[in-house]
Structure 1
Amino acid sequence: MTTQPSDVEIAQAHPLKPITEIAATAGIPDAALIPYGTTKAKVDITALQDVEPAEGKIVLVTGVSPTPAGEGKSTVLIGLADAFSQLGERTVVALREPSQGPVMGIKGGAAGGGYSQIVPMEDINLHFTGDFHAISAATNTLASIIDNHIHQGNDLNIDPRKVTWQRCIDVNDRALRNVVTGLGGPTHGVPAETGFTITAASEIMAILCLATSLKDLKKRLGDITIGFTYDGEPVTARQLQAEGALTALMRDALNPNLVQTLGGTPAFVHGGPFANIAHGCNTLLATQTAQKFGDVVLTEAGFGADLGGEKFMDIKSRFGGLDVAGAVVVATIRSQKYNGGQAREDLTTENLEALKAGVINLERHVENIRKFGVKPVVALNLFWSDTQAERDFMREWAEGFGVALAECSVWSDGGAGALDLAQTVRDNFVKGESKQLYDPAAGIEASIETIAHELYRASSVEYGPKAKKDLQYIKDNGWEEFPVVISKTQYSFSDDPTALGAPMGHTLHVRELLPRTGAGFIVALTGDVMTMPGLPKEPAANRIDVTQDGTISGLF
């Protein structure tokens, strides 16, 4: 009996092309390439100012509500990109960088899987080019500047009890959610209650992902609100004269990272915010750069279409003026059976009743994508346990629901397993019709309620005591017309992770509103979602090792 190779073993066995060759394939000029070794590089955005954009058609890859069985959204995107390349389309990928939190935790990385991966896989899933380290360094530098300013006389009259800026670290560490700093006496600073955010959910991560130039990056960093004075006035990083140092730390991180798929398709992997607690999209610069060199640009948004998909359209597309030509909703038969009530351990067993009951989750995501003026295609990612009867049901369902569906087998077949999907997506392109769901000018409450009613099908929105105070702060400071990023469980359309399928008539509970004035949006924390995850009982880190010759094993 042969043992199936792991993702990392498949990646390690694949001969990589020199990154200079990948850049040449894309048409990226040599002067713009900053190699990091031989298989990855950064692309200097300042060297591309005179490059005429190809205005590549953007295809957004999103998915159904994630389940413990996994749906393979990134894997499908990468295979689909290679399929477009095989069909003769000049194709470029734009993906997020993996966070060390999920890599060492439970979810895994974001480099795809099987024969549908971006490589070098180990580099991408671990330190890569140091972007996450730069974000952490900048975040923590600002925290130290704040503490030092208060310690050294506090000329800005900052209230230590109202400092909202937190440090960050790119690991899942529940012990850092709530901490006290400044202990040990007067020479060690002013004691304060604070906490850590995971780097992927930090504001500087969001700023990196929305900045359009070095000048814009510096402005956004200066616009960060770090807390309030004793008189209730907001204090910015610019008032602390911190934006120059932060920009210096972030300068190189601003340039997109270039790698390749197993099929040799150029891939920009840049920025990595989570979609359940942040805005869930790779950098705007990476997507815009990909548009300069590709006729088709494949990009993703984290988790389901209710989270990452919505934020891609309402945040990223709004800020960047992007037109989305097509959308793919990745689903599996297993995910729909899980939403129909089948236990995780039984998902490999045929169950048409559970499939029929659970397909309402997919229906809701398809309906939601249509509200953005895009024509979605369902990518049915096949697994070995899917039966012919279940596959027949899904085809019949799609025909009856009026949505195009194409099966794919990218994990085992790479791009060849997504040729039908690529053709189907190409047949469903639209131009100039994508739009946002709400107008931020109507105010933060109206924005939240529109998302809650239109996408989550909630009947009401309830603001907790802290959220009500935050709402008044937001209005008093003129931030009420910022767009909103809703932080919500990824497992349900509601803020209750156990409410599977397509719940309706529930209440969305908003417990806190966080102004992100540098990023330019308001974060609404709902339910019990946290900005610092914890590790599971058996973290993935326990299986990772390095052989004596330096080969990493057990990564995935």
Structure 2
Amino acid sequence: MAGSAKLLPIHEIALKCGIENEYLIPHGKYVAKVDLSLIDANKNKPKGKLVLVTAITPTPLGEGKTVNTIGLSEGLNYIGKKAIACIRQPSLGPVFGVKGGAAGGGQAEVLPMETLNLHLTGDIHAITAAHDLASAALDARLYHEERLGEEFTAQTGLERLNIDKNRIIWKRVIDHNDRALKNITVGVGGGLNGVERKDGFEITAASELMAILALANDLQDMRQRVGKIILAYNTDGDVITAEDLEVAGAIAVLLKNAINPNLMQTVENTPVLIHAGPFANIAHGNSSVIADRVALPLADYVITEAGFGSDMGMEKFFNIKYRQSGIAPSCVVLVATVRSLKSNSGKYNIKPGQPIPKEISESNVELLELGAANLAWHINNAKSYGMPVIVAINRFPHDSDEELAFLQQYALKHGAFACEVSEVFTKGGKGAEELSHHIVNACEQTSKVKLPYQDSDKLIDKIQCMAKKYGANRANLSPQALNDINDIEKLKLDHLPLCIAKTPMSISANPNLKNVPTNFDIDISHLALSAGAGFIRVYAGNIMTMPGLGTNPAYRHIDIDEQGNIIGLS
């Protein structure tokens, strides 16, 4: 479908949404960065409505959030409204791993999808370079202080940082799934090789710099946040920041161009802003505040998505992104699929890389009903934040009319403002016509964000609050977690919001507990500060910050044909 689409030059897409050429930084014919001076130029214009797209508990393949985010922007344009989509930039890890790219699909796809999924304008590579510069600076300072000893200050004019090599918390990053790099030893052999110590890699999307890029309001805000990043501790137990290491300015320089969001288009020539790509388990899982600020004065409706389910990216949108930006949505669209609800029935334990059982593709209302409680939970979770909730049932070819009718009735019975079948994959904007009218009506409702805890609440109480919100009896904190809480309180940073790092495959922190788990506890292993990004990571379960490739990775099917076209990329 995308191959037959007629793309417009990017300056024409910009003009459609009111962006003059002077604010464009072209990157070829179909991509441009948008200069941040546009935000100030439009500061007195009326703002459009923000629509937040989230989902029920997904299968490892995803349930079509991006497809529906893009499709809803097309749908609103189809009914005569002016709409822009704001989405995250794909990481190469999923692109070459199991999940594939994040351009959407069918008639609801960002084009050129190869450009989006592969490098785009280099923002993720800039984050990789900036992050690893800090790592190199740390090891260099450690090496020279150890090499020169007491003569260090006399020879360099610098005060010793006295880095504790066992408490360097800033790992290196790379934008690939590579489990072999998860735990490594650097400086092997010592001497000119540096100080030998244990280290490791995380995927670039897990970098605090990625979270900062997504949360910063402007270039100077980003620069200040970078300076607050905690890189390590000294031998007295005090923090060492990027400002202390005098590397913050250079990091900001490497990110100077990355802070400008990227403008592209959909199959139907609807404008899309792509910016930042933080994961939704260890970061906040949303596209950038800057993209929202650029888009809102340009459109009647801005459609943005949050990663994974409402217990993940949506929860983090409100507790982190909204708290920091003050930008609130007017409604929530909850994407659901028949296959995911059947998968949540408790009869299956689908894992990444495994095929969906064929029974799920067969019409079976009884099986669907077993898993439907998951939909009800996510509706009520979204409503608890003060928003009207529209359920979009992302239709797959094997879904029966009987199953779809059951889900529509079920969603309305359990509190949805509206529920419609979405056929944006096959029909584009026309496939979201009814959904778009519901969005317009929902955005006219009076809504006010309700947050589950206040900044002033005790840190331990915030943790217990969120555990109970997931349905747990309590959060059990390890001795390490209690020590971490004490350290954070000493730094007077316990007012920061929580970023619960847990599995997306269950409402609980146990991926094997499907549907709506009950009578369970959540075990908290440790906490970590993202002082620059402005949140506290709370680790519940074994959370991978460096994924590995499976037995059937997507890269096996990606190639270039004789005409130089990329094939097999999805």
- Tell me the TM-score range normalised by the shorter chain: over 0.9
Query: Aligned partners of 1:336, 1:284: CA distance in 2, in Å?
Result: 32
From 292, 295, 300, the equivalent of 2:305 is 300
User: Can you list the C-alpha shifts for 1:374-429, whole angstroms capped at 9, x where unaligned?
Assistant: 01000011111111221221122123223221111111111110101111121112
Query: Aligned partners of 1:115, 1:304: CA distance in 2, in Å?
Result: 23
Partner of 1:71: 63
Residue 145 of structure 2 is aligned to residue 153 of structure 1: yes
Query: Aligned partners of 2:231, 2:408: CA distance in 1, in Å?
Result: 52
The structure 1 segments of at least 4 consecutive aligned residues displaced by more than 6 Å after TM superposition are none
Partner of 1:166: 171
Query: Aligned partners of 2:142, 2:435: CA distance in 1, in Å?
Result: 58
Shift of 1:137: 0.3
8 Å contact 1:147–1:190 — kept in the other structure?
yes
From 250, 253, 256, the equivalent of 1:248 is 253
Query: Aligned partners of 2:331, 2:31: CA distance in 1, in Å?
Result: 29
Residue 339 of structure 2 is aligned to residue 347 of structure 1: no
Distance 1:431 1:290, change over 3 A: farther
Query: Aligned partners of 1:274, 1:63: CA distance in 2, in Å?
Result: 15
Query: Aligned partners of 2:482, 2:555: CA distance in 1, in Å?
Result: 40
Shift of 1:92: 0.9
Residue 491 of structure 2 is aligned to residue 477 of structure 1: yes
Partner SS state of residue 197, structure 1? strand
User: Can you list the C-alpha shifts for 1:524-544, whole angstroms capped at 9, x where unaligned?
Assistant: 111111111111111001110
RMSD over aligned Cα atoms: 1.3
Partner of 2:389: 376
Residue 415 of structure 2 is aligned to residue 424 of structure 1: no
Query: Aligned partners of 1:435, 1:399: CA distance in 2, in Å?
Result: 22
8 Å contact 1:31–1:47 — kept in the other structure?
no
From 100, 120, 133, the equivalent of 2:125 is 133
From 18, 21, 30, the equivalent of 2:9 is 18
Partner SS state of residue 180, structure 1? strand
Partner of 1:323: 328
Partner of 2:116: 124
Residue 472 of structure 2 is aligned to residue 458 of structure 1: yes
The one-letter code matched in structure 2 to 1:500 is K
User: Can you list the C-alpha shifts for 1:127-152, whole angstroms capped at 9, x where unaligned?
Assistant: 00000000000000000001111111
Query: Aligned partners of 1:514, 1:320: CA distance in 2, in Å?
Result: 22
Residue 409 of structure 2 is aligned to residue 385 of structure 1: no
8 Å contact 1:323–1:431 — kept in the other structure?
no
8 Å contact 1:225–1:235 — kept in the other structure?
yes
Query: Aligned partners of 2:393, 2:474: CA distance in 1, in Å?
Result: 33
8 Å contact 1:324–1:431 — kept in the other structure?
no
Query: Aligned partners of 1:444, 1:200: CA distance in 2, in Å?
Result: 26
Query: Aligned partners of 2:189, 2:358: CA distance in 1, in Å?
Result: 51
Partner of 1:144: 136
Return 534-543 or 11-20, whichever deviates more: 11-20
Partner SS state of residue 403, structure 2? helix
Shift of 1:220: 0.5
The one-letter code matched in structure 2 to 1:28 is I
How many correspondences in the alignment?
546
8 Å contact 1:103–1:125 — kept in the other structure?
yes
Please show how residues 168-187 of structure 1 align to structure 2 within 5 Å. Answer: 168-187=173-192
Please show how residues 406-425 of structure 1 align to structure 2 within 5 Å. Answer: 406-425=420-439
User: Can you list the C-alpha shifts for 1:145-188, whole angstroms capped at 9, x where unaligned?
Assistant: 01111111161111111111111111111111111111133111
8 Å contact 1:58–1:298 — kept in the other structure?
yes
Partner of 1:7: none
Shift of 1:342: 4.9
User: Can you list the C-alpha shifts for 1:477-521, whole angstroms capped at 9, x where unaligned?
Assistant: 112111110111001011111111011221111112111111111
User: Can you list the C-alpha shifts for 1:352-386, whole angstroms capped at 9, x where unaligned?
Assistant: 11111100001110000011110100001111111
8 Å contact 2:52–2:304 — kept in the other structure?
yes
Q: Which runs of 5+ in 1 are unaligned?
A: 1-9
TM-score (norm 2): 0.94
Shift of 1:227: 1.0
8 Å contact 1:179–1:193 — kept in the other structure?
yes
From 24, 44, 47, the equivalent of 2:35 is 44
Residue 362 of structure 2 is aligned to residue 357 of structure 1: no
From 523, 536, 547, the equivalent of 1:522 is 536
Distance 1:135 1:69, change over 3 A: closer
The one-letter code matched in structure 1 to 2:520 is H
Q: Which runs of 5+ in 2 are unaligned?
A: 147-159, 349-356
8 Å contact 2:39–2:293 — kept in the other structure?
no
The one-letter code matched in structure 1 to 2:569 is L
8 Å contact 2:128–2:174 — kept in the other structure?
yes
Partner of 2:452: 437
The one-letter code matched in structure 1 to 2:85 is V
8 Å contact 2:60–2:505 — kept in the other structure?
no
Partner of 1:6: none
Query: Aligned partners of 2:186, 2:91: CA distance in 1, in Å?
Result: 26
Partner of 1:279: 284
User: Can you list the C-alpha shifts for 1:295-345, whole angstroms capped at 9, x where unaligned?
Assistant: 100000000000001001111111100121011000011111111145532
Residue 315 of structure 2 is aligned to residue 310 of structure 1: yes
Shift of 1:69: 5.3
Partner SS state of residue 522, structure 2? strand
From 94, 101, 106, the equivalent of 2:93 is 101
Partner of 1:397: 410
Distance 1:133 1:496, change over 3 A: same
Query: Aligned partners of 1:339, 1:206: CA distance in 2, in Å?
Result: 30
The one-letter code matched in structure 2 to 1:22 is I
8 Å contact 1:56–1:293 — kept in the other structure?
yes
Distance 1:69 1:215, change over 3 A: closer
Partner SS state of residue 476, structure 2? strand
Query: Aligned partners of 1:109, 1:461: CA distance in 2, in Å?
Result: 35
Return 462-471 or 39-48, whichever deviates more: 462-471
> What percent identity do the matched residue pairs reach?
40
Partner of 1:81: 73
